[in-house]
């Protein structure tokens, strides 16, 4: 197991590799989640809205090591920040949809099976 001794250095390296439109607060939130839950960095980067369960205080990691999913506890210290990030993301998604841009690509079979899935946030 590798312990992050300098989270600030990790934030700096991660921010350098992110596109400029990714806010610093989101980068620090992801690093804090990795440090406080034991999740790998790529697992944190792949988290989706539907993977965070505030009712159960846990997060679901999909396709982790060994391509297996697992649940990890949601730290109390991150709960409020994750909730605010979720709300901000949902508002931005609604705004993007209103402007006609917030859709994602779905393969043809999925687009037929779930016709509105390209606009759903989670």
pLDDT digits (tens, 9 = 90+) for 19-42: 676 677 777 787 788 778 888 877
pLDDT of residue 2: 43
Q: How far apart are CA 43 and CA 15, in angstroms?
A: 16
pLDDT digits (tens, 9 = 90+) for 50-68: 889 999 999 998 877 777 8
pLDDT of residue 120: 87
**pLDDT at position 8 over 70:** no
- The DSSP line for 30-78 is HHHHHHHH---HHHHHT--GGGEETTTTEEEE-S-GGG--EEEE--HHH
pTM exceeding the 0.75 threshold for the entire prediction? no
Please state the rounded mean pLDDT for residues 11-18. Answer: 65
pLDDT digits (tens, 9 = 90+) for 76-88: 988 998 899 899 8
Please state the rounded mean pLDDT for residues 94-121. Answer: 88
């Amino acid at each position: 197991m590798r312990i992050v001794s300098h989270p600030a250095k990790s934030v700096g390296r991660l921010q350098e590799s992110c596109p400029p439109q990714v806010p610093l607060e989101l980068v620090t939130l992801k690093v804090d989640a990795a440090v406080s839950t034991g999740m790998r960095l790529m697992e944190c980067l792949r988290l989706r809205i539907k993977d965070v369960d505030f009712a159960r205080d846990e997060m679901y990691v999909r396709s982790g090591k060994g391509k297996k999913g697992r649940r990890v506890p949601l730290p109390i210290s991150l709960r409020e920040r994750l909730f605010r990030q979720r709300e901000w993301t949902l508002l931005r998604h609604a705004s993007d949809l209103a402007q006609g841009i917030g859709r994602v690509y779905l393969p043809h079979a999925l687009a037929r099976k779930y016709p509105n899935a390209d606009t759903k946030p989670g």
